[in-house]
A and B are shown apart, each in its own frame.
Chain A
Amino acid sequence: MVNRVLPRKLGRDLRQRWGPIASLLLIVMVGVGCFVGMASVWRDLDGARTHYYAEQRLADFTVDLKRAPAWVVESVTDTPNVETIQGRISVPALLDLPSQAEPISGTAISLPTERRPVLNDVVLRSGTWFSGEREKEAILNEAFARENGLVPGSRIKALLPDGQHELLVVGTAMSPEFIYLLAPGGALAPDPARFGVMYLPEDFLRKRADLEGAYNQLVGLAHDASRTALRNTLDLLANRLDDFGVTNTTPVQDQPSARFLADDLKGLKVSATVMPGIFLGVAALVLNVLMARMVAQQRSIIGTLKALGYSRAAVTRHYLGYGAIIGIAGGLLGLGFAVWIHWGMLGIYREFYPMPEMRMRFHPDFNGMGIALCLSFSLLGTYRGVRLAARLEPAEAMHPPPPEKGGRILLERIGGLWRMFSFRQKLILRTVFRNPFRSGVIVLAATLSAGLIFSTLAMVEALDYMMEYEFKHIARQDVTIQLRDPVHRDAAREIVGLPAMSRTEPQLQVVCDVRHGPHAKRIGVTGLPAGNELYTPLDKAGEPVVVPERGLILSKKLAEILDVEPGGEIRLRPLLGRRREVIAPVNGVVETFLGLSAYADIEYLSRLLGEEQTANVLLGRTYSREVGDGFLNEIKTFPTVVGMERRIRAFEQLDATFGQTMGQMISIMVLFAGLIAFGSVLNAALVSMSERQREVGTLRILGYRPGQVAGIFYGESLLLNGIGIALGLGLGVVLTYLLARAYSTELYRFQAVIRPWEFHAAVLLTLLFIGLAQLILYVMIRRFQWKEVLNVRE
């Protein structure tokens, strides 16, 4: 038997309550949209990544060494877990472009002169492969070429190990190895304008790097590419290739571009679950309030239906139908909203992670799950009301409901306190405390809203703090010059003596293996000179740490990983020079937010390499903040120089990159969080108004203006939302600490930074959304047909 009349009642009941339903649908729409949209982006990104890595054969591991003859490659192919292994040449280079005064750091990587499949293969995007007729041809990374206006046919100058060469650009290409184009040395943000990857013919680069018949980098694929298996494989390879000067081994999980992308995908997966959960949870609570109110209002109708012979099951199905309709409608709206999120987010990701096949695809399973989730939460939200309706016995339902609990609320029992309140305030307090569930939902929504807004702003502050700390407090140089190899200080005299430099300090950066008990890590150790001013690690109190003559200072995160404290000892093995393991005392711990750092005295570190007074980085302070063309032109000519960076420019680039994304993220988070407050406040106010129509009508007849009537509702809202916002600020602080920990990785750490402006902004923004809801309520009170309400018969 198909009932046709009750569905009509259902539809008309929903239409009558369009205000609260619309505000509820808004919350549901955002929840479902976030889930489906973000999950779809995750899958598109993940799918594009997997496809790209497979098609272009991204290497599972890389071994950097000083020099390995070609036959060595063949000799290690039988290493367990190695599927295939190839040699190539990779050298740092300094590029001189007509469009840029400053020299640009870069990497030159060899590719076969004749096109054939290789590991870490490239996708040609414009131009052609090497012709084989000219030596000095280059294929440039597409993003780098685009940022610098380079096209096939352009000419660039590159400072290679044996000197400067003019190269003809024959093509541009993409590679899975450099999806996120990060300069080596711990860069955080891609800077395609200032870091160039170029591919040169193997024979040509071999000669330039003095690697005839040899390679300085091995790349390979493994049967088992898990981190543990790769670690074991790389340990084996490092042992077997020790004689050839292994300087570093990198599993694909630590390859910078792959790592950033993997971390981002992980974060996206978390966001796609947590945020929708919050929104749909709030929606379920708000729907609870709405349904409970509706069932109370339809008490006699429920009794009539039961008197007519409708079973409990039929009544249950009818009221569950409200949840189902809202669930399906909200779900469909959410799917539409998801398209916008999907499109927008994918657009942003395309800029950060350019990959072929990164297309917006429809994922029916996520869409189906979105509807199912929405339906589940909606039915859950309807549960309380449906249970009430089902339990009502017909005889009981026909009678008016028992009077509301008339007992005193808790506050009333405190006589002295209660007397302090005005009549209006007492009315507000009684309404609030006699509807604990509804009041609780409003408080919760305001708490979540304020908490989310606060933590978003605080994370922005944390990022700003991190960047300021690293780029302005620890590092104070104007320029950083990277040398190709560690050299004696005297060999760097020419650079040190440049007229533009007012002060220079050497540094020695060496990749080392450190070990403490079962814990081991491969890190970069930075040797600092005594009396260093341009780069000073700071302790927890922000005071400069003096590097001792012997031993290491570790970053806090590294000390945690190694489980070592100041006073302890670790095993240290540099991957340069003599490469002998020593026992090094740990003399202190410093606070850093980037990477896993360790510091030592530069002389101590030099001696570990079997050298004296060596450096491979020069920090310089220039007389003028703006380095002149003369300085830049001179730098470009030093063959030992492979990179130059201005600290301020690096800071500005990071700020611009993250700032843009952060700005979008803040706006969206604030909007979504505000929607929670807006939707639930409006809903509760409309439900409250429907309950108190006679009261509103009576007040209007007595001569109260709409604003004065609205004031009754505002009072309750102010109290509840005030409590909610106060709790929300507390929640926001807790969330900030939790998020700072959750987002911290070995590459970068966040510190929860709580400042007064965050509290002010969170309160103001939350109040803005609440105010918007109250404005709508005021308009509805103005339009309210109070005369008709007072004429209504039972």
Chain B
Amino acid sequence: MCDRTCILCVEDASRVYRMGEVDVAALRDATIRIYEGEFLIIVGPSGSGKSTLLNIIGGMDQPTSGHVKFYDRDLARASQDELTLYRRHEVGFIFQFYNLIPTLTALENVEVAVEIARDAMDPLEALRLVGIEDRAGHFPSQLSGGEQQRVAIARALAKNPRLILCDEPTGALDLENSRQILGLLRDLNERLNRTIVLITHNGAIARIGHRVAQIRDGAIHSIQPITERVAAETVKW
């Protein structure tokens, strides 16, 4: 990892939410670096702060304190407009429940991201990369869960972002579909050198990545390299 470029650096980042009269620390002094081309898995139980961390990395939220540097840009001090542009050009999101727009076809769901991005890829090409170009004209209600997640991946990919962030991408899928999606993500990472950060509560997934970070109670407990990576097809839970 040392000879790879650090594209995003989170330093002592904390996020505190005010709930009525109580302050809830969703993230506490988190420090982590993300390197170009790596597949980073962040594992933690529900409520551990992993989604909060992902949101901060993805520019959807800002820390209450600390720094978040994407190359030399401090996202923690960025304005809303700057964060919007960051999300637009640098980040691709993949969500647990796909979040496709139901009134747009698969192709249009990819186009909606492409239209505002610079240097975007051809939407149909993105669908082809995820193996679902033959379903381009279908609406989400006409696709299975796995197919919908592929469309979501194509949407994230089509922007040619420097960072792809996945929030429990297999959380709503069965084992077989999950393996396929994980395999696809790993393939994109290796073949296209996409930097991918994936958060999950499922520890079994961790070994498909290059590194795994453990998060609990809002704090990062450990970050370990994966010495023996496994193929997505062999992942079992």
Which residues of A line the B interface, CB within 8 A?
1, 3-6, 8-9, 12-13, 16, 300-301, 303-312, 314, 393-395, 398, 793-794
Contacts and interface: CB of A to CB of B under 8 A. Distances in A.
B81 A1 contact: no
A793 B171 CA distance: 12
Contacts of A305: 112
A304 B61 contact: no
A324 to B, nearest CB: 18
A12 B108 CA distance: 13
Contact of B84 (A9, A309, A395): A309
Given A5-B115, A8-B108, A395 B95 contact: no
Contacts of A308: 87-88, 93, 112-113, 116, 155, 159
Given A303-B99, A308-B116, A398 B84 contact: no
B104 interface: yes
Contact of B104 (A3, A9, A395, A398): A9
A16 B99 contact: no
Contacts, number: 89
A300 B159 CA distance: 20
A4 B114 CA distance: 11
Given A312-B80, A794-B172, A1 B97 contact: no
Interface in B77-116: 80-81, 84-89, 91, 93, 95, 97, 99, 101, 103-104, 108, 111-113, 115-116
Interface size class on chain B is 20 to 34
Main secondary structure of the interface of A (DSSP, over half): helix
B231 interface: no
Enumerate the 4 nearest inter-chain pairs by beta-carbon distance, A residue then B residue, closest first. Answer: A309-B88, A12-B103, A304-B99, A394-B60
Contacts of A16: 103
B116 A310 contact: yes
A298 to B, nearest CB: 9
B116 A3 contact: yes
A755 to B, nearest CB: 53
B104 A309 contact: no
Nearest to B111: A5
Contacts of A307: 58, 60, 87, 91, 93, 99
Contact of A309 (B95, B108, B111, B116): B116
B103 A9 contact: yes
A305 B87 CA distance: 10
A628 B129 CA distance: 103
Nearest to A794: B97
Nearest to B99: A304
Contacts of A794: 97, 172
A662 B10 CA distance: 77
Contacts of A394: 55, 60-61, 87
A794 B104 CA distance: 16
A693 to B, nearest CB: 14
Given A309-B116, A793-B97, A794-B172, A5 B108 contact: yes
Contacts of A311: 81, 84
B145 interface: yes
Nearest to A10: B103
18 contacts: A1-B115, A3-B115, A5-B108, A5-B111, A8-B108, A300-B99, A301-B101, A303-B99, A308-B112, A308-B155, A309-B117, A309-B159, A310-B84, A311-B81, A394-B55, A398-B99, A793-B97, A793-B172
A398 B111 CA distance: 21
B89 A395 contact: no
Contacts of A13: 103
Contacts of A5: 104, 108, 111-112, 115
A16 B141 CA distance: 14
A793 B145 contact: yes
Listed residue (B58, B93, B159, B172) with the most chain A CB atoms within 10 angstroms of its CB: B93
Given A308-B88, A309-B87, 7 more contacts: A9-B104, A12-B103, A300-B99, A308-B87, A308-B159, A309-B84, A393-B60
Interface in B51-66: 55, 58, 60-61
Given A4-B111, A309-B85, A395-B61, A304 B95 contact: yes
B61 A393 contact: yes
Contacts of B81: 311
Contacts of A309: 84-89, 91, 113, 116-117, 159
Nearest to B84: A311
Nearest to B88: A309
Contacts of B113: 308-309
A395 B55 contact: yes
